[in-house]
A and B are shown apart, each in its own frame.
Chain A
């Protein structure tokens, strides 16, 4: 029965308790109401994307999950534990890590200090050697000032530093934005590799060709809500609908 239901409706999220469950998430920037009840789930080991136009609320959703959006309500459960009232440092300690769109590389810190800055929150993170294996460029530039790196290298640093911490859920906000195609491919390979290693990833993307190459499922965000869910396997069948959503 359950199998039949799953077969008939493969778009359904995994039946097991999801690692991250967001329900009725509301969020505000000051007085401006940005999120109007976001719902989505991410299973352990999955890569899902939030797709949508500029200003739809994708970045705000990540910030609300991470706890750095000061005014938020609804429910964000991580591993079954409610986090909506916790400060971001407590959420980080539970094993969620965030790589912001602007990358937030610290200019007063060297590349090495940037890389080593986030404390280990759980055992099981990548070793520094493994981070260098993923991003060999960083190893050459350890003593440079963080912001002297190229955009691509800064992105690698921003991702690399959160892989060390042992966080299980990675929130990546537009990791390919403004990067050369060869770097985008490298980031794509990295995400695939992280998925293989068991990381769970929520990816915000404008570049949906990139999103399609790495994700299991896509959530379409519009005006502060998730309005549709598209499994990656059905992307081609839904391509017209998706174009309409994204306005491309």
Chain B
């Protein structure tokens, strides 16, 4: 078959697919972070731990209760989202009148506690989580082999991201959310329950992370450190896209996943740092991020 710049197409497209998969997780996680940051003004450092909790709760549902993947896909976001609601009501809501730094410290501390608890209970070697049988196997596309599950991950995360974007940008609820992000006092003075809106928003952002965790479980091993490894890259994605920008976080998430994949083909040594190099350049040229509005 044909070669591109001396790279066999199997390798190129394989890496692009891998990039797209990573991009799916970047997009879902940075989207949740962006929504939470927009309304709560808190950088949710617990996000990685909540993604990890998603994978673990899926594993627990399967191993303790016999609930398979498809049930977990629905139940896990609800369960982990509910823990987010409790965390917001009990802890985070007490910090809104303080500097952002306190929210960051609190959520960072929570991430350490949650990760530590899981590490204590389950160790760090990782637990296997089987792929749903309906999505086993793959398609030969001629130029590459596409495993069904990976195609599913890209597809479903695109749908979830675009669905979230639609709700925020095009519905009445989304208008409340955007308005409360700009001026919560005024939205409250219209009779809207802003504290409840904030709680539900945090719960939704956490549920999104947990959903990503379930999607990740069959691909990566279920491991207490899986969130910590990913979240640093996701923060870089958020910075590049622009804090609080919804569409920006989606486009940047998928885009950077692809760029990372391409780098792995053409300059493998740089693939681990390419996102951070881009982040540094974006910070120098456009500090508000590619899609962010200057403060």
Contacts and interface: CB of A to CB of B under 8 A. Distances in A.
B185 interface: yes
A67 interface: yes
Nearest to A104: B186
Interface string A69-104: 000000000000000000111011100011010001
Interface residues of B, number: 18
B292 to A, nearest CB: 13
Contacts of A116: 172, 175
A92 B172 contact: no
Contacts of A210: none
Interface in B173-195: 175-176, 178-179, 181-183, 185-194
Interface string A106-119: 11110001001111
A87 B195 CA distance: 11
B155 to A, nearest CB: 29
Contacts of B194: 89
B185 A88 contact: yes
B179 A89 contact: no
B61 to A, nearest CB: 38
A165 B178 CA distance: 20
Interface string A144-156: 0000000000000
Nearest to A120: B191
A106 B183 CA distance: 8
Given A68-B185, A104-B183, A118 B178 contact: no
A13 B197 CA distance: 41
Q: Give the dominant DSSP class at A's interface.
A: loop
A91 B182 CA distance: 21
A107 B176 contact: no
B189 A89 contact: yes
A107 to B, nearest CB: 7
B182 to A, nearest CB: 5
Nearest to B180: A106
Given A100-B186, A104-B186, A117 B179 contact: yes
A66 interface: yes
Nearest to A87: B188
A117 B175 CA distance: 7
Contact of A88 (B176, B181, B182, B189): B189
Given A116-B175, A117-B176, A107 B188 contact: no
A113 B176 CA distance: 9
Interface of A: 66-68, 87-89, 91-93, 97-98, 100, 104, 106-109, 113, 116-119, 121, 162, 165
Interface of B: 172, 175-176, 178-179, 181-183, 185-194
6 contacts: A68-B185, A100-B186, A106-B183, A107-B182, A108-B182, A118-B191
Q: Which 8 A-B pairs have the closest CB atoms?
A: A92-B191, A118-B190, A108-B178, A104-B186, A113-B175, A88-B189, A106-B179, A93-B191
